[in-house]
Amino acid sequence: MAVFGMTRVVIRNLFSRPATRLYGTREKVPHRAPRSRGHIEIDIEACIFCGACARRCPTDAIIVTKPAREWNIDRLRCCTCNACVEVCPVKCLRMDAAYTSPTVTRDKDIFRAQPKPAKESTTSG
Amino acid sequence: MGTRTVVPFGPQHPVLPEPIHLDLVLEDEKVVEAVPKIGFIHRGFEKLVEKMDFNELVYVADRICGICAFIHSMAYCQGIETVMHVEVPARATYLRTVWSELARLSSHMLWMGLMADAFGFESLFMQSFRIREKIVDMLEEMTGGRIILGVCKVGGVRRDVDNDTLAAIVQRVNVLAADMRRVSDVFLRDDSVRHRLGGVGVLTREQAEDLGCVGPMMRASGIARDTRTLGYAAYGSLDFEPVVETDGDSYARCAVRIRECVQSVDLINQLAAKVPAGEVAVKVSGYPNGEHHSRCEQPRGEVIHYVKADGTRYLQRYRVRTPTFANVPALVKMLQGCELADVPVLVLTIDPCISCTER
Amino acid sequence: MSDEQVLEEIPLPSLLDRVARMRTEGWRLAQASATRLVADQEVNYSFDRDGTLHTLRVRLPMTDPALPSISRFYWSAFLYENEMHDLFGITVTGMAVDYRGAFYTTMIPTPYVTREPDHGD
């Protein structure tokens, strides 16, 4: 009979686990796949400050300052498109799967990813 | 003769996935006339050609829609590739087609959920979304994104999926197909659903032709046309027929979409069986010069991406004509003479993707 | 792609006759769009039948562009024409449903008319 089709589904659901991910109560880390696009990480020591990533970024989220040896990214502008990772000539950028943490500051604030001006002859820790 | 009242429907309404405004002129409970107003989500995408070069527009194309995103970027890339005479490697076309079909599945499951929500069947809505969640999880594992995949580029695709992973994904899709059939059986055979959908919003074959409907709207009225038969991407080597019903009412459209889900599962199996090995992208150099109308079959119908370039980095024109734009006149015609309680069903039966419509 | 695409440029006075002929020959209106170039504007009407896409193109001047509406042949064209009017400022006479500029409510009128300065390479 065509009226009780859904009843079977409902009864089956009553006796099985929840279909939703119990993020917040049981799972503390959000579910991500290895390839998920989360945020950009940089190995600042390997960066040569060529600026290719900044030129390629479609949302102008990356600003590279060569004299100050500084690379900064506006996390809220970054749309995790992976263009910078693909264009980097020394492969110092990579896409990490974890989400960025929430913030209360406006998107004009720039999150500095390790602005360590490394001198030519010394390596800073 | 009752008095006429004008009831504003939308732009914020629980049943609408995206904002659209309808001014419904009612006589008692019957809708006499309906005037649509769109434009609440107009973002001026087409003006971005002035700022972003033709490679960066792929990211824009990806983000036109929040449901059918991948096929937009594929249609754009195909347009640019045709203008620049770039031959995309076979493996890339197969991967693009697999992702298109998975996107079609996820979009149809989303539509089924929203339709169930429109006529009040909340648990069916949740069941459809539970299945859809598994599909977008598969997309995330393959490409990194759930809806906005970000894998298409001019010249191919940006990510490769090795054959073993692809076979495992196809296996999961087949398991999911049985689940999908249980849920879609409720749509097709449950009496209460039939009462809500049967005979609502009938479009005859002539009306569907005159109004320029595309996609499941026209296929449910008996017109056997499917843009995939043009043979773009890997569709030329696949064996399928357009899914057609003849009744032309909301039930027929529901049946078309459900049968298209089954067809998509079959197509994914066909693709995985013959995906060739090789590169997934070719290097593209130079700038496009020329124009082309690139057509693809989105879950909602035929989408046309028109690109016009003059040999510089920036395109002269990029125009997207989405299927919902072509289906809105049909919505206006169907609303004339319907009951007020059927308005949500009619709005959802065209599968409105208003963010696509207005770009 | 193997679909056939034909582009035909026609003079503006013959637009309505050609569209009427397309209608009787069973073509479906696929899209209508306007493009603003350097010296003039062009409006494309694309028609589809059996997989072939046939585009009719008319050229319009930059100042006071005006077109007759084709919505008496294709009712669904009123959407494209209202969009052309609101975004490009093209006057279309005789639309089946005329929103009189209220189709897209934008902060500046006819936003696609002004163009950002051309970028150097």
How far is Cα B246 from Cα B239, in angstroms, rounded to an integer? Answer: 22
Per-residue pLDDT averaged across A6-28, rounded? 82
Judged by a CB distance cut-off of 8 A, whether residue C105 touches chain B is yes
Do A and B touch, 3+ Cβ pairs within 8 Å? The answer is yes
The residue of chain B with its CA nearest to that of A60 is: B52
CA distance C111 to chain B (A): 8
Counting CB pairs under 8 A, whether chains C and A reach 3 or more, is no
Best residue in A1, A3, A4, A6 for a mutation probing chain B (most B CBs within 10 Å): A6
Q: What number is the ipTM of this complex?
A: 0.87
pLDDT in tens, A50-76: 889 888 888 888 888 887 778 888 888
Interface of B with C (CB under 8 A): 35, 37-39, 42, 44, 46-47, 50-51, 78, 82, 209-212, 229-232, 236, 291-295, 302, 304, 306, 308, 312-314, 316-317, 319, 321, 325-326, 328-329, 358
Confidence category of residue C121, pLDDT binned at 50, 70, 90: very low
Residues of C in contact with B82 (CB under 8 A): 1
Which residues of chain B are within 8 Å of residue A34 when distances are taken between CB atoms? 141
Residue C5: which of B49, B83, B317 has the closest Cα?
B83
Residue B98's pLDDT is what? 92
Q: What is the pLDDT of residues A36-50, one digit of tens each?
A: 888 888 888 888 888
Beta bridge partners of C6: C54
Domains and CATH numbers, chain C: 5-93 (3.30.460.80)
Of residues B169 and C102, more confidently modeled = B169
Residues 6+ apart with CB under 8 A from C76: B211, B212, B326, B328, B329, C29
For residue A108, the model assigns a pLDDT of: 47
- B neighbours by CB contacts (3+ pairs under 8 Å): A, C
- Smallest CA–CA distance, residue A71 to chain B, in Å, is 22
> Inter-chain contact B358–C46, Cβ cutoff 8 Å?
no
A2 chain-B contacts, CB cut-off 8 A = 189-191, 194
Among B317, B318, B355, B356, the residue to mutate for chain C (most C Cβ within 10 A): B317
How much is the pLDDT for B210? 87
Residue B106 three-state SS: helix
Report the DSSP pairing between strands B21-27 and B4-9.
antiparallel
Cβ <8 Å between C33 and B306:
yes
What is the spatial distance between Cα B189 and Cα B194, in angstroms, rounded to a whole number? 7
User: In the prediction, which pLDDT does A34 show?
Assistant: 87
Cα B34–B39–B43 angle (5° rounding)? 160
Cβ separation of B313 and C119 shorter than 8 Å?
yes
Q: How many domains does chain B have?
A: 1
Residue B34: strand pairing partners: B24
- Pairing mode, if any, of strands B156-157 and B289-298? unpaired
Instruction: Give residues with Cβ within 8 angstroms of B197, minimum separation 6.
Output: B119, B249, B250, B251, B254, B345
List the single residue in B with minimal CA-CA distance to A80. Answer: B150
pTM of the model: 0.89
CA distance A101 to chain B (A): 18
Using DSSP bridges, classify how beta strands C5-9 and C52-60 pair: parallel, antiparallel or unpaired.
parallel
Asked if residues A61 and B41 have their Cβ atoms less than 8 Å apart, the reply is no
Triad B160, B161, B164: Cα angle to 5°: 150
Along chain B (359 residues), what's the average pLDDT of each consecutive run of 10 residues? 82 84 88 86 84 87 86 92 90 92 92 88 88 91 88 90 90 91 85 85 88 89 88 86 89 92 92 89 89 90 90 88 89 88 88 82
* Chain B residue whose CA is closest to A35: B144
CATH number, position B207: 1.10.645.10
CA distance C17 to chain B (A): 18
Side chain identity, residue A114:
Q
* Structural domain of B235: 4-358
pLDDT score at B342: 87
Distance of CA B357 to the CA centre of its chain: 11
pLDDT of residue B1: 58
The domains located in chain A, with CATH, are 33-112 (3.30.70.3270)
Chain B nearest CA to C61, separation (Å): 17
Better-scored residue on pLDDT, A6 or B158: B158
Structure confidence at residue A114 (pLDDT): 54
pLDDT at residue number B94: 92
Instruction: Evaluate if residue C84 carries a pLDDT over 50.
Output: yes
* C28 close to B (CB below 8 A): yes
pLDDT of residue B105: 92
The confidence score (pLDDT) of residue B102 equals: 93
Query: What is the arithmetic mean of pLDDT over C54-67?
Result: 88
Q: Are B82 and B294 in contact (CB under 8 A)?
A: yes
Is the separation of the CB atoms in B244 and B218 below 8 Å? no
Secondary structure (DSSP) of chain C: ----EEEEE--GGGHHHHHHHHHHTTPEEEEEEEEE-SS-EEEEEEEEETTEEEEEEEEE-SSS-EEE--TTT-TTHHHHHHHHHHHH--EEES-SS--TT-SS--SSSSTTTS-PPPPP-
- How far is the CA of B203 from the CAs of B152, B194, B206, B270, C18, in angstroms? 37, 17, 8, 33, 28
Yes or no: say if B314 and C119 are a contact pair by the CB < 8 Å rule.
yes
Give residue A21's pLDDT band: very low, low, confident or very high (50, 70, 90). Answer: confident
Question: Nearest CB to B141: which of A5, A33, A80?
Answer: A33
